[in-house]
Chain A
Amino acid sequence: MTPKHADLAEQFITDEPRTNWHDETLWFVREKRDKAVHGIPEWEDLREWGSQIKNHSLSNLSQYLKEFEEKATANGIQIHWAATGEEHNQIIHKIIQKNNIQRIVKSKSMLTEECHLNDYLEHRGIEVVDSDLGERIVQFRKEAPSHIVLPAIHLKKQDVSETFHEHLNTEKGNNDPQYLTEAARGHLRDKFVESELSITGVNFAIAETGGFVVCTNEGNADMGAHSAAVHIACMGFEKIIPKAEHLAVFLRLLARSATGQPITTFSSHFQKPRDGQEMHIVIVDNGRSTQLGREDFRNSLKCIRCAACFNTCPVYRRSGGHSYHTSTAGPIGSILNPNLDMKANSDLPFASTLCGSCTNVCPVKINIHEQLWKWRQEIVKNGYVDTTKKIGMNGMAVLFSYPAIYRLTGKIGRWVMRVVPFITNNQLNPWYKQREMPKPPKESFRDWYKKNGNSQKN
């Protein structure tokens, strides 16, 4: 059984100084985002435009995907369609086999994480080198990325130093970021030069032109794509936007929301293969059409993967990405993942206080907290809920439907808490573990009101 968010989060918090550090680091990014967006008076308009363009695209998806396929094919790009993650992996595997390729670099792509591409290829004896620095670090450690923009944000420089000492033979105990980055740079340069095939993600695919845009801060997607003979770009079908001019909205929204930068350092436009190069695009469904068909949740497909909702989420900051046990963590992951596997991810919509910060930070106005609420209803309806919780909630429903029962229970409850407090004040009560119980008064407000309320008015 998949471990639950609450338990994994509890483990994470055991190391409180590290939790504080994690929280503060991500809050620093959130503050950078605030500075960047509060400098733009039209920010709320931009969000609205981004949201509308995505709404429009999702409503006319088949038309735009068809247009994209036609234009891209005419440009000399080979288009592949994958219904599932497995199919996506098979398509890539075939291209690798056909070209008899040994050396592969891959830039950041949450889709390939979602499809578990690295594992799939590794089982078939093919190694893929992740070329994003953070992803390379977690790849060395055989961990999953804990954040979709900052994959190694859960690690401190000491951790990176140890990892590089083990895998890149760097000096033990040298925690200097400059030194460590240079070591990684040298290592990755070799991989780029040797690579025969490059896999990248897609941030935006433009129907009008048949081209696509990949955004990175390290330029690693470009280094891979420009040196390899074969370039495969993987995209979920929701990455489509109608026109090139719409990029003006999204490129402004993306980097500001993600890291507080005005624009990503590299926003590379790929239009067609260069002479002698093969270029492929794998367009993936993998549950997206199901989500598109769920009216309450289709909005989640507007996501541009900026991770602003991660950085703002007070739960994510204190529980770490791995506590979400899925490729996409955080608030957005909590509304995307139940679509992929409702049972295994039934805990995720509950890993939120419904504070709503995610919804308001979202650059494309996804109503994340409302969808979390709706997933909870859906999960209970489908029976993926603990029996004890179910019994408790049924009891509560009776309690609040009958005023006399509510009052009697309240009275008894307060009496118990006053007279025999150990019944509630024990370690079996999760409230009491680290919090005192409220001090129960002798009379409820209603009791007081019956005695004093009316006389006061007269």
Chain B
Amino acid sequence: MKVALFIPCYIDQFYPNVGIASLQLLEKLGCDVSFPLEQTCCGQPMANSGFASLSKGCDANFVKNFRGFDYIVAPSGSCVLHVKEHLHDDKNPLEAEKIRNSVYELTEFLTDILKVKNINARFPFKVGLHNSCHGQRMLNLSSMSERVLPAFSKPQDLLNMVQDIQLIKPKRNDECCGFGGTFCVFEEAVSVKMGKDRISEHQANDVDYITGVDSSCLMHLEGILNRQGNKIKTIHIAEILNSSL
């Protein structure tokens, strides 16, 4: 199984540990993983700001890097969603289509494709799970409180396989953290208020860590936690699943 690892730009630059954990985890689970070296970004920052028209070069570069793999896996629901919904390349329309259909968020790849039943990991801490909106509502990684459907959660199923972990849900289980891409700077006040409110619910549960499938949400929460001098830490789910503490 030839898997390409897609490491979103900000994870590449700021959170290499998330990339390392994703790579090691996939390799442990028997995948033949490559990291295409000339990759940059999925183009979401432009598209969500209304500038989808400017993402042609970025898209073409993405297609050039990720053509020819069975699967493309990324530790970020939001970037995966963007590729799935919006990746186009006029010069290679079929390749782009193939990529759109074979790109997976890490946890859905583990549960749906690899059908992982056991994970050799231990993480003896109290952990609050943050449901990232794009993963949850659009990639369908978990059920949501708005809809009347049976409850499920792919990230939670995986975390339940981790030894000694104590998972605690916040009161409003699936509310947005307020990151929202460029929203976090153009609507700074609301963005931060939303983040503060997410944190206080996790704080009420006395968690050690907040985890999730999107480093972007975690980066935003981490920024507020650090400003508050709060002892709660953020950690990407890949790092927990790859952990052997």
Nearest residue (CB) in B for A358 is: B146
With CB as the reference atom, state the residue of chain A lying closest to B188.
A430
Report chain A residues within 8 Å CB of B14.
414, 438-441
Q: Is the CB of A361 within 8 A of B146?
A: yes
Q: Are A436 and B226 in contact (CB under 8 A)?
A: yes
CB distance from A36 to the nearest CB of B (A): 11
Per-residue interface assignment for chain A, residues 289 to 301, with 1 indicating a CB less than 8 Å from any chain B CB and 0 otherwise: 0000000000000
Chain A residues near B23 (CB-CB < 8 A): 449, 453, 456
Minimal beta-carbon separation of B133 from chain A (angstroms): 4
A435 touching B227, Cβ below 8 Å = yes
Q: Are A314 and B176 in contact (CB under 8 A)?
A: yes
Q: Are B37 and A450 within 8 A (Cβ)?
A: yes
How far apart sit A318 and B93, CA to CA, in the bound complex (Å)? Answer: 42
Which residue, of B7, B47, B61, B146, has the highest number of chain A Cβ atoms within 10 A?
B146
B 24-58 binary contact with A (CB < 8 Å = 1; else 0): 10010000010101111101011111111111111
A458 to chain B, nearest CB (A): 12
Question: Does B57 lie within 8 Å of A435, measured CB to CB?
Answer: no
Q: Is the CB of A385 within 8 A of B219?
A: no
Q: Is A312 an interface residue (CB 8 A)?
A: yes
> Which of B55, B193, B219 touches A438 (beta carbons < 8 Å)?
B219
Do B133 and A410 touch across chains, with their CB atoms under 8 A apart? no
A353: chain B residues within 8 A (beta carbon): 133, 176, 178-181, 183, 191, 194
Mark A382-417 against chain B: 1 for CB-CB distance below 8 A, else 0: 000100011001101111111100100010011000
Contact partner of A400 (CB less than 8 A), chosen from B49, B58, B176, B180, is B58
CB closest residue in chain B, given A407: B40
Total contacting residues, chain B, CB less than 8 A: 77
Given known A44-B148, A315-B190, A400-B41, contact A355–B137 (CB-CB < 8 A): yes
B48 and A400 within 8 A (CB) = no
B54-71 residues with Cβ-Cβ distance < 8 A to A are: 54-58, 60-61
* Pairwise interchain contact A434-B179, C-beta atoms closer than 8 A: no
Q: Which of A5-13, A116-124, A173-181, A211-219 contacts B (4 or more CB under 8 A)?
A: A5-13
Interface string of B191-222 (1 = CB under 8 A from A): 11111010000000000000000000001101
**A357 near B133: Cβ-Cβ < 8 Å:** yes
**Is B155 among interface residues, defined by CB-CB distance under 8 A?**
no
Contact B61 A401 (CB under 8 A): yes
CA distance A354 to B184 in the complex (A): 12
Q: How far is the CB of A48 from chain B (nearest CB, A)?
A: 12
**A359 to B56 alpha-carbon distance, docked (Å):** 28
Do A413 and B13 touch (CB < 8 A)?
yes
Chain B nearest Cβ from A360, distance in angstroms: 4
CA distance A423 to B7 in the complex (A): 27
- Answer yes or no: A38 CB below 8 A from chain B CBs: yes
* Among candidates B52, B57, B187, B223, residue contacting A377 with C-beta atoms closer than 8 Å: B52
| Cross-chain contact B138 with A444 (CB below 8 angstroms) | no
Q: CB < 8 Å: which of B19, B137, B146 contacts A448? A: B19
Is A74 in contact with chain B by the CB < 8 A criterion? no
A445 to B215, CA, bound (A): 14
Flag whether B9 is at the interface (Cβ < 8 A). Answer: yes
Would A445 and B187 count as touching, CB distance under 8 A?
Answer: no
- In this assembly, does A19 line the interface, its C-beta being within 8 Å of a C-beta of chain B? yes
Q: Is B161 an interface residue (CB 8 A)?
A: no
**Known: A356-B138, A357-B176. Is A396-B45 also a contact (CB below 8 A)?**
yes
In contact, B12 and A19 (Cβ under 8 angstroms): no
Q: Given contacts A354-B134, A456-B23, could you give 4 more A-B pairs where the C-beta distance is less than 8 Å?
A: A13-B189, A314-B176, A349-B50, A360-B147
Residues of B near any A CB (own CB < 8 A) = 7, 9, 11-16, 18-20, 23-24, 27, 33, 35, 37-41, 43, 45-58, 60-61, 133-134, 137-138, 144-149, 172, 174-176, 178-181, 183-195, 197, 219-220, 222-224, 226-227
6 contacts between A and B (CB under 8 A): A19-B193, A361-B146, A377-B52, A401-B61, A433-B188, A434-B227
